[in-house]
Amino acid sequence: MPDITQTAAWQALARHRRDTAGISIRDRFAAEPDRFARMHGQIHGLLADYSKNRIGEDTLSLLVSLAGTARLPQKMQALRRGEPVNASEGRPALHAALRLPPDAPPVCASGENVLPEIRRERERALDFADRLISGAYANADGLPFTDLVNIGIGGSDLGARMAAAALAPYHTRLRVHFAANADGAELSAALAGLDPRRTLFALASKSFTTPETLLNAHAARDWLRQGGVGENELPRHFAAVSAHAEAAAAFGIAAENRFAMPEGVGGRYSVWSPVGLPLMAAVGSEHFRAFLAGGHAMDEHFFTAPLRRNLPAILGLIGIWYNNFHGAQTHAVVPYTHLLRHLPAHLQQLDMESNGKSVTQSGETVACDTGSIFWGGEGVNSQHAFFQLLHQGTRLVPVDFIVPVNTPEAAQNRRFTAANAFAQAEALMLGKTDPVPHRRFEGNRPSNTLLIDRLDPFTLGLLTALYEHRTFVQAAVWDTNPFDQWGVQYGKTLAQTILSELETGENRPHDHSTAALIARFRQQDKSA
């Protein structure tokens, strides 16, 4: 694909940015009484309001033209058909296929229909989860397991952790915990108060070589032994999700407790697969299927709706407008419910691991900024933390407000949080005049508001898939690969080298800083 910044569509947007610099969002609302009606979209129980942005219909028209120049519609269909859109690894991206209903037509990768295999593994995992919940799968004493601890990191942790917390009102009797960090403190906290004989561990690692996961897995096995679980009983206390069955078997995972992760699904897109086992165990198969159905509903919208009415496409293109034409470097996500407290972290990995790329699909250096620094936190808490910068700071930070209408909280609490979300979005847009400079708010700060009728499994699926496709849209325009993560792998390789030095005492060539830090660590290491 040619350099997108040299196309007529890109240059038209650059001119448009200069021509509209003096038009505020306030001005647009004053001149456009139908602005909200034109600049929002709904799909099932999710409403996306993008009217509080520095855009007009002309802006959206130019952005859609840019998407056409970048061949976004063709790339969307290639993703849908199972073509090798992950060019650097020569494979498809099959996360949308994981959500397809039983009557869906085949999805062929390398000439083979991938649906039977990915469905078989998903159904096996769902059946296992249901047997855990019912007690049909029990410990050696015939007692049902009370707790499941998921051990994984990155995409093998964040998506399932986010979704399990979000769907807390739908939890079964089985308690689900998560441990990712390799320093041991998180695992210790997760295990506090648990009965080893009634605890099952789910190990999630695509390669089954992830050092952090294996470190915690060995610690979990030792904890079980110390808790009175015999060697012959240990296999009943473990399940594994991996693309490499042999490595899982070598750890001692029984064949019936091993579930395959599709090779064509990256970790950050994998919550729909058996990697979602802790979510399956938390909410049961019926609610997990509703989660899948919500994701599929967003897929159908994304793959069929015209770009101007396509919510993931519009939100992704608006993000490009700020990133590449306004110089915005970050994007804040603020959910106004404690249930979605882990959503910013999940989206942080989804977007930054996917779009943090400096070369195109063909390996050429990109000609523009790619990716945004995703961050955020819970509202109302965030209002008392970083909103000062959003309102009166010097940096432009687009914000996504996510507001569920119906949650388990008392009505007065729900109304209070919703009022605060709507007020913050309005205040960011309007600003405030005041003769005292310290009390003056510039306004013209953009935001989107995602209003969710009910935070249930289906709607959570809608929301999660919305952001996945938003990520893909931006990568398609930049001509980058959102499905690899070579930068992560390089750091891991260096870490293994340094770990060997710390354990053996040998010295290998390093820069002076790294060598000094290694020496200092050895000097102060009390376990040596």
pLDDT tens digit sequence for 375-385: 999 999 999 99
Q: Are 474 and 319 in contact (CB under 8 A)?
A: yes
Catalytic pick among 246, 384, 506, 526: 384
Residue 10 in domain: yes
Structure tokens at 407: 């949650």
The confidence band for 470, taking pLDDT boundaries of 50, 70 and 90, is very high
Our count of domains for the chain comes to: 3
Which phi and psi angles does 47 have, rounded to 5°?
A: -115, 130
Q: What is the pLDDT of residue 376?
A: 98
Which phi and psi angles does 406 have, rounded to 5°?
A: -115, 110
Determine the 3-state secondary structure of 122 from DSSP.
Answer: helix
341/450 same-domain check: yes
Q: What is the pLDDT of residue 411?
A: 85
Catalytic pick among 112, 231, 256, 492: 492
Structure tokens at 193: 């108060």
State the pTM of this model.
0.95
Residue 65 in domain: yes
State the maximum Cα–Cα separation within the chain, in Å, rounded to a whole number: 77
Residue 79 in domain: no
Catalytic pick among 121, 212, 353, 468: 353
pLDDT in tens, 31-60: 999 999 999 999 999 999 999 999 999 999
Q: What is the pLDDT of residue 195?
A: 98
Q: Is the pLDDT of residue 528 over 70?
A: no
pLDDT in tens, 276-291: 999 999 999 999 999 9
Structure tokens at 384: 């008392």
Residue 49 in domain: yes
CATH number assigned to the domain comprising residue 130 = 3.40.50.10490
Q: Is the pLDDT of residue 163 over 70?
A: yes
512/470 same-domain check: no
Indicate the range of 21-35, 191-205, 480-494 predicted with least confidence: 480-494
Closest CA relative to residue 2, chosen from 70, 66, 63: 70
Mean pLDDT for 4-23 is 97
Q: Is the pLDDT of residue 203 over 80?
A: yes
Q: Are 84 and 92 in contact (CB under 8 A)?
A: yes
**Burial readout 252-278 (b: 16 or more C-beta within 10 A, e: otherwise):** ebeeebbbbbbebbbbbbbbbbbbbbb
30/133 same-domain check: no
C-alpha distance across the termini of the chain, in Å: 54
Residue 103 in domain: no
Distance CA 25, CA 12 (A): 21
Distance CA 23, CA 53 (A): 11
Q: Is the pLDDT of residue 418 over 70?
A: yes
Q: What is the pLDDT of residue 263?
A: 87
22/40 same-domain check: yes
β-bridge mates for residue 331, sequence order: 374
Structure tokens at 10: 């890109």
pLDDT in tens, 214-268: 999 999 999 999 999 999 999 999 999 998 889 999 999 999 999 999 889 999 9
The confidence band for 491, taking pLDDT boundaries of 50, 70 and 90, is confident
- Please say which residue of 281, 296, 315 terminates a domain: 281
199/266 same-domain check: yes
Residue 396 in domain: yes
320/404 same-domain check: yes
Its domain, for residue 21, covers 4-69+305-478
173/117 same-domain check: yes
Residue 95 in domain: no
Q: What is the pLDDT of residue 487?
A: 84
Angle, CA of 334, 336 and 339, to the nearest 5°:
105
Structure tokens at 527: 């376990």
Mean pLDDT for 398-407 is 95
323/386 same-domain check: yes
- Please say which residue of 462, 478, 494 terminates a domain: 478
Is residue 492 among the annotated active site residues? yes
513/393 same-domain check: no
Alpha helices in 479-511 (DSSP H): 486-504
- The residue behind tokens 């209070």 is 416
Residue 94 in domain: no
Closest CA relative to residue 96, chosen from 288, 300, 290, 361: 300
Question: What's the residue count for the chain?
Answer: 528
**Burial readout 27-49 (b: 16 or more C-beta within 10 A, e: otherwise):** ebeeeeeebeeebbbebbbbbbb
319/455 same-domain check: yes
Mean pLDDT for 104-119 is 92
**Across all residues in the chain, what is the average pLDDT?**
95
460/492 same-domain check: no
472/338 same-domain check: yes
Q: Is the pLDDT of residue 149 over 70?
A: yes
